[in-house]
Chain A
Amino acid sequence: MNKVLQLGMVFALLGACDVQSTLADKPRISVGSKAFTESVVLGELICHLARDQGAVADHRAELGGTQFLWQAMVTGDIDVYVDYTGTIREELLAEVIKSGVEIRSEADMREALAKMHVRMSDRLGFNNTYALGMRDATAEKLGIKMISDLRDHPELKFAFSDEFMERKDGWRPLAEKYKLPQKRVRTMDHNLAYRGLEHDAIQLTDLYTTDAEIEFYKLRTLEDDQGYFPTYYAVMLMRDDLEQRAPEIVKSILRLENLIQPASIVSMTAKVRLDRQMETNVAAGFLRDELKLDIPLKSTSVSSEWMRVLGRLAKTTYEHLFLVLISLSMAIVVAVPLGIISARNENIGNTVLGVVGVIQTLPSMALLVFMIPLFGLGALPAIAALFFYSLLPIVRNTYTGLTQIPQATRESALVIGLDRRARLRLVELPLALPSIVAGIKTAAVINVGTATIGALIGAGGYGSPILTGIRLSSISLILQGAIPAAVLAIVVQFGFGWIEKRFVSPGLRTQ
């Protein structure tokens, strides 16, 4: 079982980090990243630097959120990942701050994290926050460098994303603080705003400071000279035991401190998002330029596009089936007996149905967060979550199937002299079977859909091309996950039709 799971996890590794060797004497390091391109590139940079010192580095790429990464680091599933000072303050230290500890500086932050056995590096060199951006040419012509400079140009037209217009730290308080006079301000979709800038329909929009589009559209981000925007400096978070386990690796990856200028991270994400280069090669190129490291590039054209699509389909199908079949089988083994016990004893029945009902209402993200401390990352927590979601339909249908057997039929089984076990085996379960099979079918179909969230915690499956597709705005990738998932759901429907024909008595079908 454990071997199989490990195999599943190995298959689930995304991105381009390979497990090159499993020799025991090599130090191992597990690197995490969030599900956006900048984070994946940063994960690749750390992997390269660790391997440069002879380590075996796993990249657990595209994990679904800060909480997942933090939990995984606490449990030791990952050793290091990159987060942002703003996020650390707002999310990771929220409880600490609530308890009365003052976090004023990055040093305070470092101290609070150290108490949680997490080490925070120095800044990597860039700040990924909101910014205001203009075309470089326009800004140059008007002599605008800082946000304050906008005061002298009331004629400029602004367009902001919906979110930026509404946020507490968005447009209105910003205009107040900087005393900006512009009146022609409207809401516009981000992609349209870039086009608007290009055609001079608008002159300014909101950006993330590390957006790839900054380079592509030749934009200038205006300096926040009054320190309005909260800072989101990128820093590495790592388990404090990594230093003892592998001091030379820590030393190597700390070379990223103060190494990545804003322009560099923008250029790297642009190469991935706009030029469709592989994250691992972009990261290797950066390290070659900055640190003179010689990292072999991955070839992207060994196989045709079709072969790659098929290869991905085979891999994700394997992973997806693995998640669905294991979790569903376990759910059947547990839920059918629970349903039988519930049907026999009203009190137990009410309790059991209540509990599995509550489990069903838990949001999947929350359930996954609970599973990580127990099961780590990869297929195991995903299987556990899917298992819990599969319980209700099976327990309820087993219960209903058994309790709906007419009194007369039940008594007939009793009076012909069958004992309790024989009644269950020969009469009650066969009569409840159509309902039980329907419950398993419901669970299986839900399971096929829900298993796509496994990608958020590195379990692979059809969710991973969807997740990567969303990250890279690639419809083709999204469809490579969405279509097989839909097809699989249909196949499951038909499969259960066959099972019903095969196992349910014709006497129960012809009614």
Chain B
Amino acid sequence: MFALQGVSKSFGPIQVLKPTTVEFRAGESTVLIGPSGCGKSTLLRLLVGLVGADGGTIQFEGTTITKANIMQMRQRMGYVIQDGGLFPHLTARANVSLLASHLGWEKKRMDERVEELAELTRLPRLALDRYPVQMSGGQRQRVGIMRALMLDPSVLLLDEPMGALDPLVRFDLQEDLRKIFRTLRKTAIMVTHDMGEAAFFGDRVMMFGEGEIVQEGRLEDLIQHPSNEYVSRFINAQRLPGVQS
């Protein structure tokens, strides 16, 4: 699905991503985990073209991403950010169908697709005609996911999608999101700093530290055979508070 070859990125003097070569396979869900500033979000933003790489190449479905073709490619990627990133001036329905409508879909086809997605994401029908300010955080996130899925993309990219939600809502949405992943069998790449979430979603977990992938594999492998001190410290730091409380 994605193949990165020696991709690096700096912001000023700081190299946030060291030259990285990695592949994301179709049908697999990968979780990028690590502390803030470790480069995991930057990797996701490189994939969707929100930032350009300093070096290396990124291939999407066999084609190298360039400035010229990124716009087309984005229509085959679904991207979800914290709190949904909804357009405040549009209703939920209009948010979800904005691109489809711009591409000239017929109304009937759009309405059917929106209904379908509302069902999938368990968004109440009433919420469809509300504006973002009138919705709860969980609803906004569901609408964000609907919008990402509208054109039936081949990959879903999620940047801390649960970050802004309180624990109960978060729990519900995690369940639903996993069901969606299972149902659609989509390739998914999710960024989080939460170990529990990583365990819940990831077929494959990539641990980031200081601009590079420190270890990757199944989560159990990371827990049982941490490749170095950094990995075990990150894992323990996340587990300990849970034990104490």
A residues engaging B (CB < 8 A)? 408-409, 411-419, 422, 426-427, 430-431, 433, 505-508, 510-511
Question: Which of A415, A426, A430, A505 is within 8 Å of B50, CB to CB?
Answer: A415
Interface size for B (C-beta < 8 A) is 28
Judge if B37 is at the interface, Cβ distance under 8 Å: no
Known: A417-B74, A419-B71. A507 touches B88 (CB 8 A): yes
Within residues 57 to 99 of chain B, which ones have a CB less than 8 A from any CB in chain A?
A: 71-72, 74-75, 77, 79, 81-83, 85-91, 98-99
Residues of chain A with a CB closer than 8 A to B86's CB: 412
Judge if B131 is at the interface, Cβ distance under 8 Å: yes
Residues of chain A with a CB closer than 8 A to B83's CB: 408
0 or 1 for each of B110-135: is its CB under 8 Å from A? (1 = yes): 00000000000000000000011110
Question: Which of B71, B90, B98 is within 8 Å of A507, CB to CB?
Answer: B90
| Known contacts A412-B87, A415-B74, A417-B71, then 14 further A-B pairs from the complex at CB < 8 Å, ordered by chain A residue | A408-B82, A408-B83, A412-B85, A414-B74, A415-B48, A417-B72, A430-B89, A431-B88, A505-B88, A505-B90, A507-B89, A508-B89, A510-B131, A510-B133
Whether A510 and B74, one on each chain, are in contact in the complex, defined by CB atoms closer than 8 angstroms, is no
Whether B85 and A431, one on each chain, are in contact in the complex, defined by CB atoms closer than 8 angstroms, is no
Whether A418 and B102, one on each chain, are in contact in the complex, defined by CB atoms closer than 8 angstroms, is yes
Judge if B147 is at the interface, Cβ distance under 8 Å: yes
Known: A507-B89, A508-B89. A414 touches B81 (CB 8 A): no
Residues of chain A with a CB closer than 8 A to B147's CB: 416
Whether B131 and A416, one on each chain, are in contact in the complex, defined by CB atoms closer than 8 angstroms, is no
B93 to chain A, nearest CB (A): 12
B19 to chain A, nearest CB (A): 25
B121 to chain A, nearest CB (A): 17
Q: A412: nearest residue on chain B (CB-CB)?
A: B85
A507 to chain B, nearest CB (A): 3
0 or 1 for each of B220-240: is its CB under 8 Å from A? (1 = yes): 000000000000000000000
B residues engaging A (CB < 8 A)? 48-50, 71-72, 74-75, 77, 79, 81-83, 85-91, 98-99, 102, 131-134, 147-148
Whether B133 and A431, one on each chain, are in contact in the complex, defined by CB atoms closer than 8 angstroms, is no
Question: Which of B49, B71, B87, B102 is within 8 Å of A431, CB to CB?
Answer: B87
- For the complex, give the distance between the alpha carbons of A506 and B48 in Å: 31
Whether A411 and B85, one on each chain, are in contact in the complex, defined by CB atoms closer than 8 angstroms, is yes
Residues of chain A with a CB closer than 8 A to B133's CB: 507, 510-511
A-B contact pairs, 10 of them (CB 8 A): A408-B81, A408-B82, A415-B48, A416-B75, A427-B89, A431-B87, A505-B90, A506-B131, A507-B132, A507-B133
Residues of chain A with a CB closer than 8 A to B82's CB: 408
- For the complex, give the distance between the alpha carbons of A495 and B132 in Å: 28
Q: A511: nearest residue on chain B (CB-CB)?
A: B133
Residues of chain B with a CB closer than 8 A to A431's CB: 87-89
Residues of chain B with a CB closer than 8 A to A430's CB: 89
- For the complex, give the distance between the alpha carbons of A419 and B102 in Å: 10
Q: B77: nearest residue on chain A (CB-CB)?
A: A415
- For the complex, give the distance between the alpha carbons of A424 and B39 in Å: 30
Whether A426 and B81, one on each chain, are in contact in the complex, defined by CB atoms closer than 8 angstroms, is no
- For the complex, give the distance between the alpha carbons of A44 and B74 in Å: 75
Whether B88 and A411, one on each chain, are in contact in the complex, defined by CB atoms closer than 8 angstroms, is no
- For the complex, give the distance between the alpha carbons of A123 and B72 in Å: 82
Q: B50: nearest residue on chain A (CB-CB)?
A: A411
- For the complex, give the distance between the alpha carbons of A418 and B103 in Å: 9
> Which of A417, A427, A508, A511 is most buried by chain B, counting CB atoms within 10 A of its CB?
A417
Whether B50 and A416, one on each chain, are in contact in the complex, defined by CB atoms closer than 8 angstroms, is no
- For the complex, give the distance between the alpha carbons of A116 and B124 in Å: 81
- For the complex, give the distance between the alpha carbons of A510 and B131 in Å: 9
Residues of chain B with a CB closer than 8 A to A508's CB: 88-89
B49 to chain A, nearest CB (A): 8
- For the complex, give the distance between the alpha carbons of A433 and B87 in Å: 14
Q: B91: nearest residue on chain A (CB-CB)?
A: A507
Q: B103: nearest residue on chain A (CB-CB)?
A: A417
Residues of chain A with a CB closer than 8 A to B79's CB: 415-416
Q: B144: nearest residue on chain A (CB-CB)?
A: A412
